[in-house]
Amino acid sequence: MRIVLGVTGGIAAYKAAELARQLVRNGHEITVVMTKGAEEFIRPLTFASLTGRKVITDLFSSASPDATLSSAVEHIGVAREHDLLLVAPATADVLAKFAHGLADDFLSTLYLAFDGPVVLAPAMNDRMWSHAAVRENVAVLRGRGHALVEPGDGYLACGTVGPGRLAESEKIVAAVEDALRKRRTDLVGQTILITAGPTREPVDPVRYISNRSSGKMGYALAEAALARGARVLLVSGPVNLQPPARAEVEQVQTAAEMRDAVFAHLFEATVVIKCAAVADFRPATPSAQKIKKTSADRTLELVPVPDILAELGDGPRNFILVGFAAETENLLDYARRKLEGKNCDMIVANRVGGDGSAFESESNEVLLVLRNGETIPVDRAPKRVVADHIFDQIVKLGK
């Protein structure tokens, strides 16, 4: 396999040489990308000798001898040509850059252009490792599905003892092999239509009825599907999230608009996942003008909106249909009823409201309810991880 080994500027940078040697010995082709900081600790020549390949040291370097332009876009080519990105040692700085999408050198631009598996092996001072900022960045990166090889406990270069030492090379190599084994291309050729977020049903030009859905689960599904090789059509209600770059997105507001967008693209879909929290009712006669507080009429008359999932499940179909169930009680019972009532292949049941609610949360804990009566619990995990469990089942349903 072709692996990019990113080396950043920590005292453990020298250990990356042994790591490169072991990966080469396992039969991998290694392209080393060094940050400026890393060059303070170890020379590129060491890696060039160990890997037999040129070492990339700078965004605008003469890595491509023929033209400045081709070197300026080389990170895109490197991203496309490699199967896995490993960063070892990963400093607090590179974790922060990756977590927040900063791109000011070759490694950080490469990261943004890379959509394969990422393995990060951090190394830093123990106090830095336990700082809230680093903890939060690590959580973000884990949430994206990246593998983190935890630093070990021991004597640190700064003279203290604690967690922060770069993990042993064998452990990092094992994490790389594991990530390569799990590298999934099992959704290649699938077109996955995902609805996400809430809908908004207008009361008047300034007010609406909606719900607490943040869209995070639907967007995590879109990311996971893209990472596994699918084409993704994302029909999204109003949310404060940036959609994944390669998703084809249609923004909608109301349930009626969501229904139209779903049916307009249905002929392309091999899988439909109705993750959106559709408002069940809309005001019967939205006012064209703002309703004044002096208005005599204080009663809002509501009428039901179309049940998109039920319509999708009605009649023969040539796509897999997955619905969600948002419940505050009787999770399994209601989920089974929705599976039958809306004729889905699977229902993802999650608890909403109160502590541990799926709404507005970074993590989720779900129950996958299948037609054959099987129920599969998925323990609490970042939504991106839960998304992969959902696709594991969808892949099985398609077989």
Instruction: Output 226 or 277, the one with its CB closest to ligand CTP.
Output: 277
- What's the gap between Cα 81 and its chain centre? 21
Instruction: Output 98 or 391, the one with its CB closest to ligand CTP.
Output: 391
In the bound complex, what is the minimum distance in angstroms from residue 386's beta carbon to ligand CTP? 15
Instruction: Output 102 or 266, the one with its CB closest to ligand CTP.
Output: 266
Instruction: Output 203 or 256, the one with its CB closest to ligand CTP.
Output: 256
Instruction: Output 143 or 323, the one with its CB closest to ligand CTP.
Output: 323
How far apart are alpha carbons 149 and 117 in whole angstroms?
A: 13
Exposure string over 116-138, b if 16+ CB within 10 A, otherwise e: bbbbbbbbbbbebbeeeebeebb
158 classed as catalytic? yes
Instruction: State the maximum Cα–Cα separation within the chain, in Å, rounded to a whole number.
Output: 83
In the bound complex, what is the minimum distance in angstroms from residue 205's beta carbon to ligand CTP? 23
Catalytic residue among 48, 133, 158, 188: 158
Instruction: Output 47 or 219, the one with its CB closest to ligand CTP.
Output: 219
How far apart are alpha carbons 91 and 29 in whole angstroms?
A: 24
In the bound complex, what is the minimum distance in angstroms from residue 308's beta carbon to ligand CTP? 3
Nearest to 219 by CA among 206, 237, 204: 237
Query: Which pairs count as long-range contacts for 173-181, CB under 8 Å and 24+ apart, including other chains?
Result: 173/19, 173/22, 173/23, 173/26, 175/119, 175/121, 175/147, 175/149, 176/3, 176/23, 176/84, 176/86, 176/119, 177/26, 178/147, 179/84, 179/117, 179/118, 179/119, 179/147, 180/1, 180/83, 180/84, 180/117
In the bound complex, what is the minimum distance in angstroms from residue 378's beta carbon to ligand CTP? 17
In the bound complex, what is the minimum distance in angstroms from residue 273's beta carbon to ligand CTP? 8
Query: Would strands 302-304 and 281-283 be described as parallel, antiparallel, or unpaired?
Result: antiparallel
All residues at 6 or more sequence positions from 301 whose CB lies less than 8 Å from its CB, including other chains = 283, 284, 285
In the bound complex, what is the minimum distance in angstroms from residue 73's beta carbon to ligand CTP? 41
Instruction: Kindly list the residues in this chain that would bind ligand CTP in the complex (CB under 6 A).
Output: 255, 274, 276-278, 280, 305, 307-309, 323-326, 338
Contact 15, 46 (CB under 8 A): no
Active centre residues (catalytic): 158
